[in-house]
Amino acid sequence: MKSIVHAWLLLALAGCAQAPPADFVSRPGASVMPSAAEPIQCPPLGWDRARLDALKAAEFEIADAGERSALAVAITACLASGDPAMRDGIAYAALTQMLRGDQLDDGTKRALLADLTAKLSAPDAHGVGQSFAALALAEVARADRIKAYLTEEERVKLLVDAQHWFINISDYRGFSDEEGWRHAVAHGADLLMQLVLNPLVDAEGLRLIVSAVGVQVAPSGHAYVHGESERLARPILFAASRGAMNETEWTAWLAEISTPKDADAVYASEAGLNWRHNTQTFLQALYVNAVLGSDAKDDVLRPGLEAALKAMP
């Protein structure tokens, strides 16, 4: 990798997240990003709820490119809304439609990258903004995977910022009838998966992602019940398919994942039972996909998975 990329990875391994480059807003098309002096609000200026609902019914089609780009950046404020229908059904849905439909220019995508990355560490009154910023960043990363527009340095910085936020997640709430989805671990795993799938992310980057996933497989004091383990398995399966590590290395990594810190406490404490539940569900998700899936390349996981599952207390 280039020296600047290596430097970014060293910063990541040291646990240092970096702010978005100052020149993001000066790039072509990025002027749609609100300045610090402009109010950031939800709904965005000029868009009340009724108009946004009508836009959703029209599948977020906006004919004018400038208006579309301006809304795309402004609507990110609604990712932190306490209303799940607004943050998930409108803000995230609008961004997904625009990005997957290739309706935004590269400058707007870069503005979204800078804005959403900043939101990963922004105050989060409802406890949902950072998680949905990560989910929207997964779409920004997907757009770069489908049609590259980021420089190598920008792409690696996204990887570094994503893994740094992900390994520091401490809010493990998934879903509630009143508040809808939070799901930070699953959303972060989706972001890491899009980076794993990008052929421009090299082996060093893949290993960084594998390491990050390992941190959240079995968090202390929480049992996953909202499908997080399955989502965590996805970036690992794709990393294996891309040759991130050889069979011996995967076997060692899986052995480490499946070894409890205190074997005597596994059946004698809530923390131990949580660890067993999370770890076994993760290993089983990997195993089922590796065995039943059509991709032979991820079979490199099978010896290590079989050994890990047999060794589980």
Helix (H), strand (E) at residue 273:
helix 270-292
Q: What is the pLDDT of residue 40?
A: 59
Identify the band that residue 1 occupies on the pLDDT scale cut at 50, 70 and 90.
very low
Crossing angle between the packed helical segments 184-197 and 152-167, to the nearest 10 degrees: 150
* Structural tokens at position 155: 């792409």
Average pLDDT, the chain: 90
* Structural tokens at position 207: 């290993």
| 237-269 per-position pLDDT tens digit | 999 999 999 999 999 999 999 999 999 999 999
| 109-153 per-position pLDDT tens digit | 999 999 999 999 999 889 999 999 999 999 999 999 999 999 999
Identify the band that residue 6 occupies on the pLDDT scale cut at 50, 70 and 90.
low
Q: Which residue type occupies 144?
A: D
Q: What are phi and psi of 260, to 5 degrees?
A: -70, 150
For residues 18 and 9, the model is more confident at 9
| 66-95 per-position pLDDT tens digit | 999 999 999 999 999 999 999 999 999 999
Report the percentage of the chain scoring pLDDT > 70: 87
Q: What is the pLDDT of residue 29?
A: 33
Q: What is the pLDDT of residue 140?
A: 98
Sign of CA dihedral 30, 36, 38, 39: positive
* Structural tokens at position 248: 């011996």
| 189-233 per-position pLDDT tens digit | 999 999 999 999 999 999 999 999 999 999 988 999 999 999 999
Task: Decide if 133 contacts 112 (C-beta within 8 A).
Answer: no
Among residues 45, 141, 42, 57, the alpha carbon closest in space to that of 91 is found at: 42
| 28-45 per-position pLDDT tens digit | 333 333 333 344 599 999
CA atoms within 13 Å, Cβ hemisphere of 68: 21
Q: What is the reported pTM?
A: 0.88
